[in-house]
Amino acid sequence: MDINDMKITYGENATQKASIEANEKMIDYETSNSLTYINFLSILKGLDLISEFYDVKAACSLKGTGVCSVALGQSLADAVMKAMDSNPIDFVNAVIVVSSEVDSEIARFLKDSNIIVAPKYTKSALEILESRNVTYVTIKTPLKDYKNYLSNEVKVTPLGTLTQAPNLSELDKDIFKVVSKVKPTVELIEDAIFAWKVAKHNNSQAIVIAKDLKTTAVAQGLQSASIEFVLDYACDSSKDAVLASDMPITVHDVNVAAQGRIGLIIVPFADKEVVAHADKYSISVITTGFTNIKY
């Protein structure tokens, strides 16, 4: 279905009128069915996130604009299974966004999804999805080029029109530093980079727990106790895992992380007291040198 043939009957609520129009700077995509306003928000959030992993097999699940799970795998089927295992309850009837072609095996696994977003589908996969009336979106523009289509964010408000450039921040090896006495393993560093990229696309204060290149807990938009929340959710899977925060953390946060047996913390900045506390509990600390605050 072409965007010019699509009509949105209402916005986030039935009392709000809404619409979508084509513009000069948009990716090439097709959808099998009409999408709602909230569907578009979910798909955009998923593409923002999955485009960070365009060169690997990646999958994420979303409800609204809330990221439920993200995972990387040796194959796309592996990534999808890991994402489901991360949050099986919210995976059902979710919006699923993946980085590569969906085949019949994956289609059968995702047949109860709300929407599937992928660059390609095999013929047999489409037959399965259509038989289950699952909406599928085909992203024809290469994911590696997705960020080139991001424009300034504009908010028209009673106080004036706010504009800011998109967040195109990337981890820089010259700024990325291990500041703790305990040096992390290669596996922990890989999980740290993964978790940092996931946290970037969640509303602040965002906390992500990750292990073996999959999220075990994600918290966003909490004013306080975010770390307590994610560690309670992650439970035993937080042992030797990575904790990523989009903002600096406190000594109290380190104490809570230690109780959850976290192996590494990745944050924008860390003062000496925070690092000393991490050293006390043999937790590695990486600083990125910049924040990913998002509201």
Three state DSSP letters for the chain: CCHHHCCCCCCCCCCCCCCCCCCCCCCCEEECCCCCHHHHHHHHHHHHHHHHHCCCEEEEEEECCEEEEEEEECCHHHHHHHHHHHCHHHHCCCEEEECCCECHHHHHHCCCCCEEEECCECHHHHHHHHHCCCEEEEECCCHHHHHHHCCCEEEEECCEEEEECCCCCCCCCCCCEECCCCCCCHHHHHHHHHHHHHHHCCCCCCEEEEECCEEEEEECCCCCCHHHHHHHHHHHHHCCCEEEECCCCCHHHHHHHHHCCCCEEEECCCCHHHHHHHHHCCCEEEECCCCCCCC
Write down the pTM of the prediction: 0.95
* Residue range 7-39, pLDDT digits in tens: 898 999 999 999 998 888 899 999 999 999 999
Per-residue pLDDT, 9: 86
Domains (range + CATH), the chain: 3-144 (3.40.140.20), 177-287 (3.40.140.20)
The pLDDT score that the predictor gives to residue 128 is 97
- Residue pLDDT, tens place only, 116-125: 999 999 999 9
- Kindly report the average pLDDT of the chain as a whole number: 95
